[in-house]
A and B are shown apart, each in its own frame.
Chain A
Amino acid sequence: MSALDVQVDLVEALLLRFLREELGAAGLSRAVIGLSGGVDSAVSAALAARALGPDAVLGVLMPYRSSNPDSVGDARLLAADLGIETREIEISEMADAYFGVAQVEDPTRRGNVMARCRMTILYDLSVEWRGLVIGTSNKTEMLLGYSTQFGDGAHAVNPLGDLYKHQVFQLARHLGVRASIVEKPPSADLFEGQTDEDDLGFSYAHADAVLYSMVDQRWNREELLAAGHAPQVVDAIARRVVRNQYKRLPPVIAKLSERTINQDFRYLRDWHA
């Protein structure tokens, strides 16, 4: 047993209520989710299907030319397992039109554009479907900033944002997500053979352990090193957490007046009057 293990039945009970209530607060009861074929979107979709009923969930598959065919295959199988409706919209033409005009070669830039193409499609379909876009970002990648701002980072509500990657896997098994999805190495799938762990330079298990101690348990650097974590990994993770804070907050507003949005004009989203 890991220190990060959660009570999956309790987490499920909370997240199903969360989805029903926060969608209801927006006056909606339907959901749109981008399905990558990976474990995060699979868990978000499985939770939404349980919370709202499969008929209320639209899964959207948005491969690019170079995407691994297994990703679309797994996403199709997941949707069939859950009994949810799907749309398949290839983003190759959409993204290539821009890549050609702007001569974009850098893989990071290309990946960000693809993520924002997908965001555009999800938000458009959410109008047609009369649903809310459900997030698929977990706590590990949000803390590390391993996401595209206004791309996969854009969504209305996020059931996974307080779960580390290990906990997402635990929940995936609890929800019966098929083995082909749970067992493959996590990948942003922007080019062949890419894996998250190669990109990051450390494993999810290591990142989860360090982040859990650093964030949830409030350990300082000395305590993390004393627990046996390598200084270069601890420092790399800490730098990413600080550097990517901007992705976790709304844009900065220049304060001029006596009452400024989000500074001294403070209301929750679930504001009723």
Chain B
Amino acid sequence: MNRARIRIAQVNPRLGDLAHNLDLHLAEIEAARADGIQVLVFPELSLTGYFLKDQTAELAMNLEAAELQRLIGESGDLSICVGFVERSSSGAIYNAAAWLERGEVKHVHRKVHLVSYGMFDEGRDFAAGTGYRSFDSIHGRFGILICEDLWHMTGAYTYLLDEVDGLIVTSASPARGVAAEGGARGLRSARTWDRLAGAFATLTQSWLVFANRVGFEDGVAFGGGSAVYGPGGDTIAQLDEAALLDPGRLDATLDGATLRRARVATPLRRDERPWVLASELAARDTDGRRIR
């Protein structure tokens, strides 16, 4: 990959207010361009807000929608990853993230692992995406994972096989867990994300960009804490502790040389044995249960 100056826009979208949120995106794009940023990443469902319920279908848009076309027009050499509700040509509705650059839609990822437990009900409102496709941006090869997509190994594993330079993880993760037991510091939810992100950066030997939103929807806070991880799993950029829960911008520089060195030192992709998984899957039904 080339050297790329990347920014996470840790924003607070207003629930269901497309016009407000489009303005929010345009302001971030203008600021990013002024600051020499090359890749600008927004959180999950950044154009619409998260707990949409019956608004999901009302706000679903195809790629020709005016709001997306406006953002596509702004992209140029600035690559933009934006979250939105996608309506496909068949009418299915997806929790999606689009990668925009050079005036076109380079890639759309549809969230595969919808979350439908506890406080979440995505399976009711969204269709599930069916795959993880990496793509070659002008700034490097990336794979997008939307929130729960990082809680399953499938996506990250696929992107490992594709030798991506970076995992782009967008999220609208609620802040929860304030217990002090055992000397805990910070949100339990944030600590879990930090462990997951560090582990997957390590296992894929790639950059990992974690863009989470902030703000409240009916009393539920989103936990922010956006961060960038290096291929060794170390956090290379994060917001100050006092700024974790507030709107903010987090910048980092990604480059190919660091990846190359990390992959020489620890050649995990080279030593991966995809045929082991292939033969395991060949002995199982489509639900993963062994039949041979």
Give A contacts to B, CB under 8 Å. 1, 3-8, 10-11, 13-14, 17-18, 21-22, 25, 157, 264-273
Contacts and interface: CB of A to CB of B under 8 A. Distances in A.
Contacts, number: 70
Given A7-B180, A11-B178, A22-B216, A272 B53 contact: no
Given A14-B175, A18-B221, A272-B16, 18 more contacts: A3-B181, A6-B178, A7-B179, A10-B178, A13-B245, A14-B178, A17-B221, A22-B219, A266-B53, A266-B54, A267-B54, A268-B51, A271-B16, A272-B14, A272-B15, A272-B17, A272-B49, A273-B55
Interface in B12-61: 14-17, 20, 49, 51, 53-55, 58
Contacts of A272: 14-17, 20, 49
B217 interface: yes
A273 B49 CA distance: 11
B245 A6 contact: no
18 contacts: A4-B179, A6-B178, A6-B180, A7-B180, A10-B178, A11-B178, A22-B216, A25-B216, A157-B219, A265-B54, A267-B55, A268-B53, A268-B217, A270-B218, A271-B15, A271-B16, A271-B55, A273-B17
B interface residue count range (under 10 / 10 to 19 / 20 to 34 / 35 or more) = 20 to 34
A158 B218 CA distance: 11
Interface stretch (B138-146, B183-191, B228-236): B183-191
A56 B102 CA distance: 49
7 smallest beta-carbon distances between A and B, as pairs: A272-B17, A266-B53, A5-B180, A268-B218, A21-B216, A6-B178, A272-B16
A270 B15 contact: yes
Nearest to B175: A14
Residue with the highest number of chain B CB atoms closer than 10 Å, among A13, A22, A157? A13
A216 to B, nearest CB: 9
Nearest to A10: B178
Interface string B157-196: 0000000000000000001001111001111000000000
Interface of B: 14-17, 20, 49, 51, 53-55, 58, 175, 178-181, 184-187, 215-219, 221, 245-246
A17 B216 contact: yes
B179 A5 contact: yes
Nearest to B50: A268
A7 to B, nearest CB: 5
B181 A268 contact: no
B92 to A, nearest CB: 20
Contacts of A266: 53-54
Given A17-B216, A271-B15, A272-B14, A10 B187 contact: yes
A189 B111 CA distance: 54
Contacts of B175: 14
B268 to A, nearest CB: 36
A10 to B, nearest CB: 5
Nearest to B215: A21
Given A267-B55, A268-B15, A272-B20, A6 B179 contact: yes
Contacts of A265: 54
B139 to A, nearest CB: 34
A3 B180 CA distance: 8
Contacts of B215: 21
